[in-house]
Amino acid sequence: MTKREFLIALAEELEVPGQELTEDSYWDEIEGFSSLSSLMIIAFMDDNFDIRVTDDQFKSMKQVRDLMDLVRLT
DSSP 21: P
pLDDT at 20 (0 to 100):
82
63 phi and psi angles, rounded to 5 deg: -130, 165
Give the C-alpha separation, 61 to 17, whole Å: 21
Report yes or no: 33 and 27 within 8 Å, Cβ to Cβ.
yes
- Position 73 confidence tier, pLDDT thresholds 50, 70, 90: confident
* pLDDT, tens digit, 9 for 90 and up, residues 5-60: 999 999 999 988 767 889 999 999 998 889 899 999 999 999 999 999 999 999 99
| Correct CATH for 3-71 of 1.20.58.760, 3.40.47.10, 1.10.1200.10, 2.40.128.110 | 1.10.1200.10
pTM for the structure as a whole: 0.86
Report yes or no: 54 and 37 within 8 Å, Cβ to Cβ.
no
pLDDT at 32 (0 to 100):
86
**Beta-carbon contacts of residue 15 (< 8 Å; ≥ 6 apart):** 32
